[in-house]
Amino acid sequence: MKPSLQLKLSQHLTLTPQLQQSIKLLQLSTIELNQEIERFLLENPMLEREEFDEPPPRLEPSTSTSPAEREREQQREADTNAGGDADAGSAAEHEGGDEGIDWSNVGTGASAKRDDDDDVDFQEIQAAELSLREHLDQQVALSPLNDLDRALVRFIIEALDDDGYLYQPLEELLELLPPELEIDLDDLSIALRHVQNLDPAGIGARTPQECLALQLRAMPESSIQMLALEIVDAHLELLAERNFVRLKKLTGCNDDELRAAHALICSLDPHPGLRHSASETRYVLPDVVVRKVRGRWTVSLNQEAMPRLRVNRLYASLLQQNRGQGGGLTGQLQEARWLIKNVQQRFDTILRVSQAIVDQQRQFFDHGDVAMRPLTLREIADQLELH
């Protein structure tokens, strides 16, 4: 064996750091993208946010008036005040006999009461929002139950989740009670019935099916209500599959009755406890906005969702003046430029993909869910020449 030299040709894909960062940013959500940008802003002094332009300062009229104009304006104000005093004096002479009136007590009606509350900011007064358990406890306090039953009802209320469901079995709840109370499973079942009779309807259900059934039983009886209750109790899976033909055969109803029962079931609330939830409302910030312009659905980027970044001009100018002496700042400057370019590339790709999806699903935007067609990633990738 002896050493030898050989030439070999091969192809392989090398992902540069810039390409890796571009792919990573493209996969992030808007929240994750903002978190990643905040990390870059803290680590890289060459990168900064582009602030919005501030409104121009308002000019005061007095700064541009001449001394002669100011003197004439003061003379006009003096004449106006003199005329007002003369009018007030003539009005007092015309009325006559008002010298003994204490004018400080005039207006002791609604305006005086309003003045007493001037330091109260009514905009800060908000209606107290009761939680689900507080709302149910108030009803239990007014119910004609004995102390033991009331305590068991409140015990089950504490086991409810935020949606108002009781997912914990009654057998497990029974084990948590002290044995000396001699509580059996029937007592807990009766207490659960009391909970399910509270407002809002559907509270205390153990399954979504039971939640819908409780709400239907709380409604006035009618033919549509009875049909909807039958569907929920026995044929809810067929309704979810939209198998209306079989539903009509099993229930013996016609199209109009089935349509009315379906609408009634859809109007029910599968999460009755959320209306009393104290969670703060969170709004979703979209990346793109779809509008119909001149008969065509078009996509535009949401400017509020796009981070505005730029290279720090001061540091960049100092680095340019001292070429070759920047050290690590040169690399940070390159990283800042890469990030700005990759963020822009991310939103350009989102815009292209969104417009392609909208073009493929035009019928959905015009006619709703019925006109939605199957769509795969490969179709959009081939159309946009992307991976």
Q: Measured in Å, how far apart are the chain's first and last C-alpha atoms?
A: 46
* pLDDT higher than 70, residue 326: no
Inter-residue contact 213 to 229 (CB < 8 Å): yes
pLDDT for res 70: 53
pLDDT for res 79: 56
pLDDT for res 78: 56
- Max mean pLDDT among 26-35, 47-56, 72-81, 352-361 falls in 352-361
Minimum mean pLDDT range among 7-21, 45-59, 97-111: 97-111
Minimum mean pLDDT range among 29-38, 43-52, 312-321, 325-334: 325-334
pLDDT for res 60: 41
More confident residue, 1 or 84: 1
More confident residue, 261 or 115: 261
User: Mean pLDDT across the stretch 219-227?
Assistant: 89
Inter-residue contact 231 to 246 (CB < 8 Å): no
pLDDT for res 353: 94
* Residues 249-262 pLDDT 10s: 888 888 888 889 89
* Residues 51-99 pLDDT 10s: 755 444 443 444 444 455 555 555 655 555 544 444 444 444 444 444 4
Q: Does domain 132-204 have CATH number 3.40.1760?
A: no
Is pTM, for the whole model, over 0.85? no
Calculate helix-pair angle for 328-360, 17-27, nearest 10 degrees.
Answer: 40
More confident residue, 247 or 13: 247
* Residues 303-321 pLDDT 10s: 888 888 888 888 888 887 7
pLDDT for res 98: 45
Domain range list for the chain: 132-204, 207-276, 288-384
Q: What is the mean pLDDT of the chain?
A: 78
User: Mean pLDDT across the stretch 103-130?
Assistant: 46
pLDDT for res 382: 93
pLDDT for res 324: 61
* pLDDT higher than 90, residue 357: yes
pLDDT for res 245: 87
* pLDDT higher than 80, residue 208: yes
pLDDT for res 136: 87
Q: Give the residue from 386, 382, 354, 345 showing the smallest Cα distance to 24.
A: 345
User: Mean pLDDT across the stretch 331-335?
Assistant: 86
More confident residue, 105 or 297: 297
